[in-house]
Structure 1
Amino acid sequence: MRDETFFGHPRGLATLFGTELWERFSWYGLRAILATFMAASPANQGLGMSDVTAQAVVGVYGALIYLVALPGGWIADRILGARRSVLWGGFVIMLGHISMAVPTSGAFFVWLGLALIIVGTGLLKPNISVMVGRLYPEGDDGRRDAGFSLFYLGINLGAFVAPLVVGWLAAGGRWHLGFGAAAVGMALGLLQYVLGGRHLHGVGERPGVRLTPDERRRFGRLAGLGTALTAAVLAAWAATGTLTIDRFTVAVTAVILVVPVVYFGYIMLGSHDLTADERVRMKAYIWLFLAAAIFWMIYDLAPSKLLFFARDHTELSLFGVPIQPATTQAFNPLFIMIFVPVFAALWVRLGTRVSTPQKFAFALVMVGLSFVVMSIAAALAGTGRVSVWWLVLVYLVQVFGELSLSPVGLSVTTKLAPEAFKGQMLGLWFIAVSVGDAVGGQTGRLAEVLSDPAYYLLLAVLAVVAGGALFMFTKKLRVMMAEHHEPALM
């Protein structure tokens, strides 16, 4: 009997769509309240951190989420297979949210929960996307692209609903109730995944290149040694009495900054039989990588700096209806769902007449302009709370930037990847997000020497200048990337 379809797509897409929707519900639900929970006073059931420290923690947390996509993809390819990686990843994520939902006054279960969510997301996030692609036969590119569009819709549906539900549940210091809702969301995603597993027809069941027994033993020894060494370093640091949360976030940020330097050095300087053209294209990609890191540094301040602005400086009301600070985190996915088809049609219409560097430059200018708006709003907030519509405008402008950079970045990464690194380069793209998130978290320390309007304006100038530089060197980068210009239509 023929398997029924899901809007004309393989029925397995419904399974993965629902799993990802609920996983994103749990992720964005936690993200919408994490910073305010950490900065809330113990009397209000929070951790009592300063806003600066909470921003740094949220930045490092987001950075590690994207960084572990690299080892998560490798584990699926060599040990577990994508299907089991998604299952175990979702289960570990659920345990992490349950840990955070434990109603105790200490921070132990919070840190344990965040660590579990990071590990679980590393297993789930890169591999569920791989499974979507494998649902389609070779050559069925049109349906595959449309399938990923539906999958992307699931991501943003989860991201839109989560702040509304979790933010409402967590109001009034009921943080652990909000964390519990995130756990329920992930549990529903796992249930969907298990019950719909028969529709996947074996997709992702086996690793691509399974480790040999000797390789497994070697991997086990290295993983154990790395874990023990990390634990020993942290223990020794703690024994000195100088280990603090702030210093830990700085150290993690420094490590994250080293990763792309080492990786690019390995690609460019190693013996990988790269052709001259591949080396030139990689040099161009480094500039795009830096541009993307700057973009994400600003864009991913939404769940920290902009969330604090919503909490402290805005009239939390839309159309006369009171809202929670977390509700403002739903603006971004709402605008993405509205404008994705618009930008998809626009890029098809423009073709190659607008180059990748120009799209990246436009994205940087947009995210910079959004912080010019924030600078104005912050200046006005000096005399009292401002309308929440300022944040609506900020997120609207930022989404124009994201839709010019995020999907384009994934595409150009696969295009510029040397043959020897085709399977690894998407992980490198996620490292750009990791670098941006980590550095963005540390920018909160500028608040100690700058006013809020000056802080936003400084980051705005950085983004606009970087965008202007990309516009200036578009022609050179385009030659390096071997992009061809089409004549304008008359």
Structure 2
Amino acid sequence: MFKNHPRGLPVLFFTEMWERFGFYLMLGIFFLYMTEGPNAIAAKSGLGLSEEQGSDIYGTYIALVYLTPFIGGLLADRVLGYRRSIVIGGLLMGLGYCGLAIPGFGPTFFLSLLLIILGNGFFKPNISTLVGNLYNDERYRDYKDAGFNIFYMGINIGAFICNFVAAYLRNTYGWGYAFMAAGIGMFLGVAWFLSGMKHTAEADVLKPAKPGDQPVGQILAAVFGPAAVFGALGWFLPEMVLGAGKTVFLSKSNDAFLFACIPVTYYYFTLWRRADGEDRERIGALLPLFAAVIAFWAIFHQNGAALTKWANEYTRREIPEVVVPVADVVGAVQRVDTSLREVIIRDGHGDPVKGPDGKPAKELGPDPYFNNMPRDQWPKPPAAECTAEVIPPETQAKCKDAQTKLVSTELFQSVNAFFVVVLTPFVVGLFSFLRRKGKEPSTPGKIALGLFITALSTLVMVAATFATHNGADKGSAMWLVATYGVITLGELCLSPMGLSLVSKLSPPRLTALMMGGWFLSTSIGNKLSGILSGLFSLFEHKSGVFFLNFGGALLACFMVLLMLPRLRRVMNKYLK
């Protein structure tokens, strides 16, 4: 696999694999952990937040975790170097994941998220920059796109494995053990990177600043000072103008974040405006592309919220008894308590029925998983001996067997990663074949194709909403498998190609900073993913969010198509 590629590629491949193991393990259970209620076993109790609160925190976290690469990329370009930044970032993230293992919704929870957010800022843009720099050698230059595809496969091997580990640990021992595993994975990645430092030394070369370049302190003050002011305006101004409790983007944190992005975005505009000659053309070609790919990330990262909700509540997940022993081995089984409790009454469309007080009406029933299943398919309540506060050891096995066994929700997060690992050789091989025939699409052309395929993936979920009568019935798991399969093809055409294009077109001394711009686009898209996921329960028909996704991806695709002539001209001029 690494033939014809630099020796540093496997070092970065496995480092990123372990980093993504931790990142996606945490992401796969984060929304579930926040919205899960109390459990008889304390270690398995979640935070009990509402879905709206969970979506808001999820969207803010996934946005900030991709906003800090602006700082990390800048400091690496000018001060720290790429390898040192990667080590700092990895250690911070490992500590943050371990911090989440401490239960409770308090200062430790938010401090842990802050460590992960800052750590990703140091790690993410700089490891991608090192990959690109490895291919500056003339011997490897033609293999850069393929190198990023291989690197991207490493990301998804980690993302595939992690959810099985998460499911086993949180179902068997509790949430804290799963978060701790994410931290251990990150520390393993740092150790692997340190062991192979000599193979990446040639790629860790800082380019001298030009006389007109701003000092780091001045850039940070010029960007994040105004960002803090705009964030405060976003927090307070909508309520002052629109009235108490009113917001522009569904929550105060959404408003604050998107307002704060305005001066950061403006900085990149001024970076282009102040540049001249070759730098101006290179930066000017990348900035519109950054704007277009926001739509992709707004759709793609709904996997951690809206699609997780769909998997948890609207997907049939029962496991046949004959499969349970094998599924238990790989941590795939989630056992559901079938004792009666209060559940929300839903109408034929799956929407809550309002009681006389205007609140959702409730009745006695089993776990909420069974809400949108016919009553004749509800499980029988367990025997009284299985609902006692203390269950004798001799009856524990019988009670465990009486529980309903489901596929753990977070395992659906591995479907995308599985398709990436399986389809990457096919995509790389197809583009290699087209290259030999002289018909390979340009890198921007691949990005446009990726956005179009992403638009098609949203239509799969539109069909799922109609097939399940707007969520009134359980749907087949194949709807999620299909939508992940289609969007993965789009992802393989877009995400590694975007990293490759930023590496190719960025002015050499600003590569990591421009990588920060790519991740700024990711950040804004991620925040929008949280906003769109929050709309999921507000639409009368659940297809509404997926139709919005379709329109956004299609519009972004047309934007890139319109930019293709300019992008090709700049690439032909400077990348010969």
TMscore range, shorter length: 0.7 to 0.9
Residues 160 and 173 of structure 1, relative CA distance in 2, 3 Å threshold: same
Query: Of 450, 469, 481, which aligns to 1:363?
Result: 450
**Equivalent residue, structure 1, for 2:258:** 253
Residue 34, structure 1, aligned to residue 30, structure 2: yes
Contact 2:461–2:543 (CA<8 Å) still a contact in 1?
no
**Equivalent residue, structure 1, for 2:267:** 263
SS in 2 for 1:66: coil
Contact 1:29–1:162 (CA<8 Å) still a contact in 2?
yes
**Equivalent residue, structure 1, for 2:115:** 116
C-alpha distance in structure 2 between counterparts of 1:220 and 1:399, whole Å: 37
Matches within 5 A, 1:223-242: none
- Tell me which amino acid in the other structure corresponds to 1:292: V
Residue 181, structure 1, aligned to residue 181, structure 2: yes
**Equivalent residue, structure 1, for 2:417:** 333
Deviation of 1:354 (Å): 4.3
- Tell me which amino acid in the other structure corresponds to 1:263: Y
How does the TM-score come out when normalised to structure 2? 0.70
**Equivalent residue, structure 2, for 1:377:** 464
Deviation of 1:362 (Å): 3.4
Contact 2:6–2:140 (CA<8 Å) still a contact in 1?
no
Residues 255 and 26 of structure 1, relative CA distance in 2, 3 Å threshold: same
Contact 1:76–1:85 (CA<8 Å) still a contact in 2?
yes
Deviation of 1:324 (Å): 0.9
**Equivalent residue, structure 1, for 2:359:** none
How many matched pairs?
466
Contact 2:160–2:415 (CA<8 Å) still a contact in 1?
yes
Contact 1:331–1:395 (CA<8 Å) still a contact in 2?
yes
Deviation by residue 1:128-151 (Cα, 9 ceiling, x = unmatched): 233344556721225863654443
- Tell me which amino acid in the other structure corresponds to 2:313: D
C-alpha distance in structure 2 between counterparts of 1:313 and 1:463, whole Å: 25
Deviation of 1:285 (Å): 4.9
Contact 2:130–2:204 (CA<8 Å) still a contact in 1?
no
**Equivalent residue, structure 2, for 1:438:** 527
Query: Of 466, 489, 492, which aligns to 1:400?
Result: 489
Deviation by residue 1:187-210 (Cα, 9 ceiling, x = unmatched): 22222233444x437456775559
Contact 2:227–2:260 (CA<8 Å) still a contact in 1?
no
Higher mean C-alpha deviation, range 11-20 or range 104-113: 11-20
Contact 1:9–1:143 (CA<8 Å) still a contact in 2?
no
**Equivalent residue, structure 2, for 1:487:** none
C-alpha distance in structure 1 between counterparts of 2:206 and 2:444, whole Å: 36
**Equivalent residue, structure 2, for 1:301:** 302
Matches within 5 A, 1:14-413: 14-43=10-39, 45-102=45-102, 104-134=103-133, 138-141=137-140, 145=144, 147-171=147-171, 174-197=174-197, 199-200=198-199, 202-203=201-202, 208-209=207-208, 246-256=251-261, 258-260=263-265, 262-268=266-272, 270-274=273-277, 278=281, 282=284, 285-316=286-317, 321=327, 322=333, 323-348=407-432, 349=434, 351=438, 354=441, 359-381=446-468, 382-413=471-502
Higher mean C-alpha deviation, range 134-143 or range 185-194: 134-143
Contact 1:77–1:209 (CA<8 Å) still a contact in 2?
no
Residues 18 and 51 of structure 1, relative CA distance in 2, 3 Å threshold: same
Contact 1:16–1:193 (CA<8 Å) still a contact in 2?
yes
Higher mean C-alpha deviation, range 167-176 or range 413-422: 413-422
C-alpha distance in structure 1 between counterparts of 2:26 and 2:85, whole Å: 22
> Could you say what the CA RMSD is over the residues aligned between the two structures, in angstroms?
4.1
C-alpha distance in structure 1 between counterparts of 2:196 and 2:107, whole Å: 35
**Equivalent residue, structure 2, for 1:456:** 545
Contact 1:298–1:459 (CA<8 Å) still a contact in 2?
no
- Tell me which amino acid in the other structure corresponds to 2:267: Y
- Tell me which amino acid in the other structure corresponds to 1:463: G
C-alpha distance in structure 2 between counterparts of 1:336 and 1:394, whole Å: 13
Residues 227 and 119 of structure 1, relative CA distance in 2, 3 Å threshold: farther
SS in 2 for 1:67: coil
Deviation by residue 1:98-130 (Cα, 9 ceiling, x = unmatched): 11111x333322211111011111111222233
Residues 343 and 271 of structure 1, relative CA distance in 2, 3 Å threshold: same
Deviation of 1:483 (Å): 4.8
Deviation by residue 1:48-67 (Cα, 9 ceiling, x = unmatched): 22223322322222222222
* Percent pairwise identity: 32
C-alpha distance in structure 2 between counterparts of 1:16 and 1:50, whole Å: 39
C-alpha distance in structure 2 between counterparts of 1:291 and 1:228, whole Å: 22
C-alpha distance in structure 2 between counterparts of 1:228 and 1:442, whole Å: 20
Deviation of 1:435 (Å): 1.4
Instruction: Structure 1 unaligned segments of length 5 or more: list them.
Output: 485-490
C-alpha distance in structure 1 between counterparts of 2:425 and 2:117, whole Å: 31
More helix by share: 1
Instruction: Structure 2 unaligned segments of length 5 or more: list them.
Output: 328-332, 334-406, 571-576
C-alpha distance in structure 2 between counterparts of 1:208 and 1:276, whole Å: 14
C-alpha distance in structure 1 between counterparts of 2:133 and 2:291, whole Å: 31
Deviation of 1:156 (Å): 1.5
Residues 479 and 54 of structure 1, relative CA distance in 2, 3 Å threshold: same
Contact 2:125–2:515 (CA<8 Å) still a contact in 1?
no
Contact 2:100–2:108 (CA<8 Å) still a contact in 1?
yes
SS in 2 for 1:384: coil
- Tell me which amino acid in the other structure corresponds to 2:486: V
C-alpha distance in structure 2 between counterparts of 1:418 and 1:161, whole Å: 37
Contact 1:41–1:47 (CA<8 Å) still a contact in 2?
yes
Contact 1:370–1:398 (CA<8 Å) still a contact in 2?
yes
C-alpha distance in structure 2 between counterparts of 1:353 and 1:11, whole Å: 26
Deviation by residue 1:147-203 (Cα, 9 ceiling, x = unmatched): 544433322211110111112212378211110110111122222233444x43745
- Tell me which amino acid in the other structure corresponds to 1:139: E
